[in-house]
Amino acid sequence: MVEAEKKIHLIITRQKDAKSDSYTEEFMVPYRPNMNIISALMEIQKNPVNTKGEKTAPVIWESVCLEEVCGACSMVINGKPHQACSSLIDQLEQPIRVAPLATFPVMRDLLVDRTRMFDALKKVKAWVPIDGTYDLGPGPRMPEKTRQWAYELSKCMTCGCCLEACPNVNEKSDFIGPAPLSQVRLFNAHPTGAMHKDDRLAAIMGEGGITSCGNSQNCVEVCPKGIPLTTSIAHLNRQTTIQSFKDFFGSY
Ligand code: SF4
C-alpha cells in the first residue's frame, strides 16, 4: 500500500492590492523535511491551486537573503511576527496561519510597505557621517565594553517585528517604534556618530518620539535578534531628560 503523501496545511491571508479587502485562502502543499514558510510558499507558486481545487493567483511575498539577515520576509505566522525564512514547518502547529504584518500598509498578499520604519531611521539620522568616500584611515577606537553591546544593537535588520508587536505603533499614531529608538542609542555611542547626538535626541524628543512608548515590553519579546530594546529605551529616557535640562538652562 502506498503511504498518503504528507501535506502542509496553510491558511493565508490575502489581498489583491492596497485598496482591496483581505480574505483567506487555504492550500495543501507537499511536505519535505526541513521546509520553511518560504519553501511552502514556493510550492504554492509552482502550483497555485487552493484546497477547493480552484486555480488561483500565486501568493506574493518579499524575501531577499533567506538567512534571517535582511528582515524582508517578516510576516505573522501562527499569530506571531517572525521571518518566513527562519520559521520551520516542523516547528509549527498546523494548520499554519500566515498573514501580512498588520502595522504596515499591505501592498499585496504578504507584501507590506515598510517605508514608515525607513523614514524613522532617516528622521533619527541612523548612520555615521563620513566626509567623502576617500580613505580616511582608521577611525577612533571604541572601548571594548561599549563595542560588545553596540554590536548586539547593530544586529537590527529593520524587520519590523518589534513595531508589529508594539501596541503604540499603529495607523493612528506617529510613534517611530522601538527599532529606530534603539538605533539612536547605537549611533550616539559611536565616536564619530556622536557628532549628531544632539540632533538624534532632539528628533526623539519631538512628536512620535520616546514619550509615545507605553512600556508594554512586547518589542523585546519578539525581536528575532534578541536586541535589548527596552534597555535602549530606558537609556534614552535618561539621555532625553538630561538633554531637556541642558536645553532649558542653556537658553538662559
Ligand atoms: Fe526586527 Fe529586532 Fe530590529 Fe525590531 S529591533 S526591527 S524586531 S531586528
Tell how far the Cα of 161 is from the centroid of ligand 1, in angstroms: 6
Nearest protein Cα to ligand 1, atom 1: 159
Residue 232 lies in a domain: yes
Q: Is-contact 70 124, C-beta < 8 A?
A: no
CB of 233 sitting under 6 A from ligand 1: no
* pTM score of the predicted model: 0.93
For residues 43 and 91, is the Cβ–Cβ distance under 8 A? no
Using alpha carbons, select from 16, 24, 29 the residue that is nearest to residue 106: 16
Residues 123 and 245 in one domain: yes
Of 112, 141, 168, which marks where a domain is finished? 112
Residue 30: which CATH number? 3.10.20.30
Are 81 and 120 found together in one domain? no
Q: Are residues 68 and 147 in the same domain?
A: no
- The pLDDT of residue 150 is above 60: yes
The tens digit of pLDDT for each residue in 126-137 reads: 999 877 788 878
Query: In angstroms, what CA-CA distances link 155 with 68, 178, 207?
Result: 10, 14, 27
pLDDT at res. 10: 98
**Does ligand 1 have an atom closer than 6 angstroms to the CB of 161?**
yes
Residues 143 and 238 in one domain: yes
Q: Does the beta carbon of 225 sit less than 6 angstroms from any atom of ligand 1? A: yes
Co-location of 127 and 104 in the same domain: no
Max intra-chain CA distance, the chain: 89
Residue 56 CA to ligand 1 center (angstroms) comes to 33
Give the integer Cα–Cα distance in Å for 176 and 169: 7
For residue 2, is pLDDT > 70?
no
For the chain, how many structural domains are there in total? 2
Nearest C-alpha to atom 5 of ligand 1 is from which residue? 179
Per-residue model confidence as pLDDT tens digits over 11-63:
999 999 999 999 999 999 999 999 999 999 999 999 999 999 999 999 999 99
The CATH number that applies at residue 185 is 1.10.1060.10
Same domain, 107 and 120: no
One domain for residues 244 and 140: yes
Do 132 and 149 lie in one domain? The reply is yes
> How far from 15 is each of 124, 162, 219, 229, CA to CA, in Å?
33, 23, 26, 32
77 lies in the same domain as 152 = no
181 lines ligand 1 (CB under 6 A): no
Q: Give 66's contacts (C-beta < 8 A, 6+ positions apart).
A: 38, 73, 85
Give 97-121 pLDDT, tens digit per residue: 999 999 999 999 999 999 999 999 9
Domain closes at, from 83, 112, 141: 112
Q: Which residue is closest in CA terms to ligand 1's atom 6? A: 158
In ligand 1, which atom is closest to the CA atom of 81?
A: 7
Same domain, 29 and 102: yes
> Measured between alpha carbons, how far is 72 from 59 in angstroms, rounded to an integer?
16
Of 95, 112, 129, which one is at a domain's C-terminal end?
A: 112
Residue 60 per-residue DSSP state: P
Residue span of the structural domain in which 212 resides: 115-250
| 59 and 79 share one domain | yes
Does residue 2 belong to any structural domain of this protein? Answer: no
Are 168 and 237 within one domain?
yes
pLDDT for the residue numbered 3: 57
Average pLDDT over residues 177-189: 98
Closest CA to ligand 1's atom 8:
156
What per-residue confidence (pLDDT) applies to 131?
Answer: 76
User: Is residue 205 one of the residues assigned to a domain?
Assistant: yes
- Taking the centre of ligand 1 as the mean of its atom positions, its distance from the CA of residue 160, in whole angstroms, is 6
Q: How far is the first Cα of the chain from the last one, in angstroms, to the nearest whole number? A: 89
By alpha-carbon position, which residue is closest to atom 2 of ligand 1?
Answer: 223
